[in-house]
Amino acid sequence: MQTHNLGYPRIGAQRELKKACEQYWSGKISYEQLEQTGKNIRLENWKIQKQAGIDIIPCNDFSFYDQVLDMTLTTGAIPERYADIAMRPDLYFAMARGCQEHGIDITAMEMTKWFDTNYHYLVPEFLKNQQFTLNSNKIFNEFAEAKALGINAKPVIIGPVSYLLLGKEKEANFDKIDLVENLLPVYLQILSKLGTQGAEYIQFDEPFLTMALNHKEKTAYEFVYRQIRKKFPDLKFIIATYFGGLQDNLALAVNLPADVLHIDLVRDAGQLENVLKAIPAHLRLSLGIVDGRNIWKNDFQKSLNFIQQAAEALGHERLLLAPSCSLLHTPCDLNLEKSLDAEIRNWLAFARQKIDELVTLKAIATGSTEEKIVSRLQENTRAVESRKTSVRIHNPAVQRRVQSIDQHYSRRKSAFAIRKAEQQRILKLPLFPATTIGSFPQTAEVRSWRAKFKKGLITAAEYDSLLKEETKRVIEWQEQIGLDVLVHGEFERNDMVEYFGERLEGFTFTTNGWVQSYGSRCVKPPVIFGDVHRSRAMTVYWSEYAQSLTTKLVKGMLTGPVTILQWSFVRDDQPRAQTCRQIALAIRDEVADLENAGIKVIQIDEPAIREGLPLRKTDWDAYLHWAVECFRIAASVVKDSTQIHTHMCYSEFNDIIKHIAAMDADVITIECSRSQMELLDAFAAFHYPNDIGPGVYDIHSPRVPSKDEMVALLEKAQAVIPAEQLWVNPDCGLKTRHWPETERALKAMIEAVTAMRAGV
């Protein structure tokens, strides 16, 4: 039995990579200095894994930006537009981030989510006659680097089929999978070089084996791996599947001529039995038993049961133990958390601890009687037991309340048409009501107040009065330019999820639990460890204050349950739906309090609904069912006359419009301007009955849109959606913008509204 790792986090325990990249981009350090930082991180990661006792240690899991972009550079699939800078050392970063200097203006490659994680990769671009040539020595250099340390590392390479499937056809009339024959020679070249260098194992990441595949794609799998085997009969290769079970690809996967097949037993424990039945005698099995996507300590007893089941069928020699997927998706090291509560800390494991878990599991499974190992098992059993029983986690009142949820919780009192009339009577909004999505610029000054307050440099009262002044200023400004529904500006919030997590029971926060989101960007998700409930109002103070300053309507501003769930580390001891219902009840209580405080319009943001979609379409309905239900639980407590808004950005709605409609928000605002209102087609085709605010300008750019542009967009909108249903607003919140452009853009937006009203 061996242990191996699929990949280690590469941002560095102190986010060294982020800092070095950003310094290099701003010209503060040289390319050599940047490379040195990368090298230090790799050496440190290898040292950690070697000292822990991992048998097969990965290399080429490092990246300065993204492993898919590395592969694109390696295969030479460099889009035409970079031809002028092809010789420069920063071609790589130009592909990642675009390049705008010395009269050159080239866009970046498109970025998209890595399966259902919060990591984003750069999408390869393919032409019909795409040629591939070996174009980088990164893989070989990193292998040699590890070898110099005495480690015969396992290069991790995105498998050829998954690499193609991750890409996008940039020309019509061809299928990217047909490029497999052009691509294969580069892979053969890589393997041949690695063989010469002395590589023993190679890991091909083929996550698409857990997804629905068509006949051509399946054939491509058989083709490439047979060719690879034919050319390299002695090279040992691992095919790594993760983020789901093999399901209908089981026979295909186990019959590929690999040496090791890796399966994800965290996402699909049930597949073990079927794999054990189907696995041919030459194939070894890697059990992905330590969760690479979450931060909980492994339950050793549970893992040992899997190992035993597999060992009975295959024998110890044919087994490897591994994390379910690369540890890229977990923070580096729990030891760096100095202020975590001791009881909670005892339930957690970050990448470094997960590595130790694998080594310990192997020792126990192979019968070690070493005292150290025996006591680790006992400690683990105690930690798992304490999680099962701790009163910090289990709150009977919350559980009873979730159990008591019935249809009344998720149903507004009346149907939309009746609500709309009632709201019209009370709110008296004009045609094309103008509003914004919530936040106003979080200037350096606003952020500095929060930092000073956190450091104790200003008192709570001082912080409060600074925020009040800023809020008052934006309320007055919004009144003056003529917005119809105002917002308080969200100056008191650091982040739309963290702010609520900090005010809810059942959440905790790390100080260093960073995970790479893309490039140098990292996120530090809150940890939901226990039953969630709200013990006091979270936002009423600011909404009430803002409303007291004006006779116009001020929108209450909340983050929805699905988004809070989606952007946190979530408990694994109960279904996600259950955790989400608890959050929904907490938000519901806040909605009720806002209404009681006289707030007549309440927005519940749900930008993450779409990204929560399961990888396989067959699982979509089940997810959407509880996700929509949770939104409705949060929203349905109010009177007919209280208007509920929701907001969603970066979404496509075509295939989920029925569920979006089932959310039954009185108003939905969506990001729309970059698609030139195309996103509205889904609503139009569905005859979506409720009100819609399609974003009329892109808030991701400092560019100020003209009145005419926005009028043109609104006319497009009006052509497909009746005017009585339309609201006018920007694409999203304005917190990342500066004031000068915000002022000009919103004034132009109001001019556009005035023109529209005059025109109807």
Binding site listing for Zn(2+): 647, 649, 671, 732
Considering only residues 599-658, where is the footprint of ligand GLN by CB under 6 A?
Answer: 605, 607, 647, 649
Query: Which one, 191 or 599, has the nearer CB to ligand GLN?
Result: 599
Q: Residue with the closest Cβ to ligand GLN? A: 733
Would you state the structure tokens that stand for residue 279, as one six-digit string?
């696995």
Q: Most distant CA pair in the chain: distance in Å?
A: 84
Give min distance, CB of 607 to ligand GLN, in A.
Answer: 4
- Using CA atoms, how far apart are residues 447 and 492, in angstroms rounded to an integer? 9
- Does residue number 699 form part of the binding site for Zn ion (CB under 5 A)? no
Among 183, 538, 732, 745, which residue sits at the site for Zn ion (rule: CB under 5 A)?
732
Q: Which stretch in 205-213, 259-267, 490-498, 642-650 sits in contact with Zn ion by CB under 5 A?
A: 642-650
Selection from ligand GLN, Zn ion, none that 735 binds (CB < 5 to 8 A by kind) is ligand GLN
- Does residue number 679 form part of the binding site for Zn ion (CB under 5 A)? no
* Amino acid, res. 216: K
Those residues whose C-beta lies under 8 Å from the C-beta of residue 591, and which sit 6 or more positions away, are 556, 558, 602, 604, 634, 635, 637, 638, 644
- Using CA atoms, how far apart are residues 247 and 508, in angstroms rounded to an integer? 36
- Using CA atoms, how far apart are residues 121 and 405, in angstroms rounded to an integer? 40
Selection from Zn ion, ligand GLN, none that 496 binds (CB < 5 to 8 A by kind) is ligand GLN
Give min distance, CB of 742 to ligand GLN, in A.
Answer: 12
Tokens 């149903």 belong to residue? 411
Considering only residues 549-608, where is the footprint of Zn ion by CB under 5 A?
Answer: 607
Among 161, 355, 677, 732, which residue sits at the site for ligand GLN (rule: CB under 6 A)?
732
Would you state the structure tokens that stand for residue 372, as one six-digit string?
């150290």
Give min distance, CB of 656 to ligand GLN, in A.
Answer: 17
Number of residues that bind ligand GLN (CB under 6 A): 13
Give min distance, CB of 660 to ligand GLN, in A.
Answer: 15
Q: Say how far residue 629 (Cα) sits from the centre of its chain.
A: 22
Annotated binding site for L-methionine: 437-439, 490, 605
For residues 228 and 193, the answer to whether their CB atoms sit within 8 Å is: no
- Using CA atoms, how far apart are residues 659 and 664, in angstroms rounded to an integer? 9
Among 194, 320, 496, 584, which residue sits at the site for ligand GLN (rule: CB under 6 A)?
496
Binding mask 174-213 for ligand GLN (x = CB under 6 A): ----------------------------------------
**Ramachandran quadrant class, 428 (left: phi over 0; alpha: psi -120 to 50; beta: rest):** left
Task: Enumerate helices (H) and strands (E) in the chain, giving the number of each.
Answer: 27, 24
- Does residue number 474 form part of the binding site for ligand GLN (CB under 6 A)? no
- Using CA atoms, how far apart are residues 503 and 537, in angstroms rounded to an integer? 8
- Does residue number 557 form part of the binding site for ligand GLN (CB under 6 A)? yes
Residue 262 appears among annotated catalytic residues: no
Give min distance, CB of 739 to ligand GLN, in A.
Answer: 15
- Does residue number 746 form part of the binding site for ligand GLN (CB under 6 A)? no
Would you state the structure tokens that stand for residue 569, as one six-digit string?
């580390």
- Among 4, 102, 262, 700, which one carries the catalytic annotation? 700
- Using CA atoms, how far apart are residues 371 and 215, in angstroms rounded to an integer? 53
Reduced to 3 states (helix: H, G, I; strand: E, B; else coil), residue 455 is: coil
Binding mask 505-544 for ligand GLN (x = CB under 6 A): ----------------------------------------
Annotated binding site: 15-18, 113, 118, 437-439, 490, 521-522, 567, 605, 611, 647, 649, 671, 732
Residue 407 CA neighbour count, 13 Å, CB half: 1
Among 95, 184, 649, 656, which residue sits at the site for Zn ion (rule: CB under 5 A)?
649
Q: Is 20 exposed, middle or buried (0-12, 13-18, 19+ CB in 10 A)?
A: buried
Report residue 507: phi and psi, to 5°: -110, 150
Binding region for ligand GLN (CB under 6 A): 437-439, 490, 496, 557, 605, 607, 647, 649, 732-733, 735
List the catalytic residues. Answer: 700
Binding region for Zn ion (CB under 5 A): 607, 649, 732
